[in-house]
């Protein structure tokens, strides 16, 4: 079994925040692949299901910690311990200030770049989990970072955000494979196809 963790804060007042993009991706994966309904467990909400793969479907546990961002590691550690999932089997979706809006990067290990959710995860499960970094852009002033991440995506943001989440969902089965770059490559290809002008029909 693999563990996919989305970072965010619980409650309807936070649902549209940039900081909650991890929750948004997890919810979209659950809907698209018809995972079981979310249920409370491990200080969070979890849903179990399967992602298609060439050698057979892969079991995946989706987790949205309900501990607020700063304590996300508590829930991830509890779920991983219960299901005996090693850190290499954990993928975390989170917002990234240091990437332009709509950019994504995938890597295993590394620092936390000041993200308190990542700090908590590193403290509880170590640094070597896979990260799907979803760019939300930097407001340009450190004093504005807090209000930036804890504010809703704008209407214009949704012009790139909604298609991006759709592409990430379609590519999600590749996260069950050994090559972390395959997921990002597939998302880039889907975005390129979506933005390409339609081909002219022969007359």
Active site residue ranges:
19
Place of tokens 């018809």: 34
Residue 180 three-state SS = helix
CA angle 164, 43, 162 (to 5 degrees): 10
d(CA 118, CA 116): 5
Helices (H), the chain: 21-32, 72-83, 116-125, 145-149, 157-171, 180-195
Contact 83, 92 (CB under 8 A): no
Name 87's Cβ contacts closer than 8 Å, sequence gap at least 6: 80, 125, 126, 128, 129
Name 18's Cβ contacts closer than 8 Å, sequence gap at least 6: 95, 136, 148, 149, 150, 151, 152, 153
**C-alpha to C-alpha distances, 141 to 88, 146, 147, nearest whole angstrom:** 35, 10, 11
């Amino acid at each position: 079994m693999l563990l996919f963790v989305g970072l965010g804060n619980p409650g309807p007042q936070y649902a549209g925040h940039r900081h909650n993009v991890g929750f948004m991706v997890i919810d979209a994966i659950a809907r698209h692949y018809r995972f079981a309904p979310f249920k409370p467990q491990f200080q969070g909400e979890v849903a179990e299901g399967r992602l298609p793969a060439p050698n057979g479907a892969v079991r995946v546990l989706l987790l949205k910690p309900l501990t607020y961002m700063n304590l996300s590691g508590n829930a991830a550690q509890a779920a991983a311990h219960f299901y005996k999932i090693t850190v290499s089997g954990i993928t975390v979706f989170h917002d990234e200030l240091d990437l332009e809006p709509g950019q994504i990067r995938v890597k295993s290990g590394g620092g936390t770049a000041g993200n308190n959710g990542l700090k908590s995860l590193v403290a509880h499960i170590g640094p070597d989990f896979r990260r799907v970094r979803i760019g939300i852009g930097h407001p340009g002033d450190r004093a504005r970072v807090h209000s930036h991440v804890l504010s809703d995506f704008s209407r214009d943001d949704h012009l790139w955000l909604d298609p991006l989440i759709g592409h990430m969902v379609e590519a999600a089965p590749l996260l069950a494979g050994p090559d972390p770059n395959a997921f990002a490559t597939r998302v880039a290809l889907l975005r390129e196809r979506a933005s390409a002008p339609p081909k002219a029909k022969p007359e």
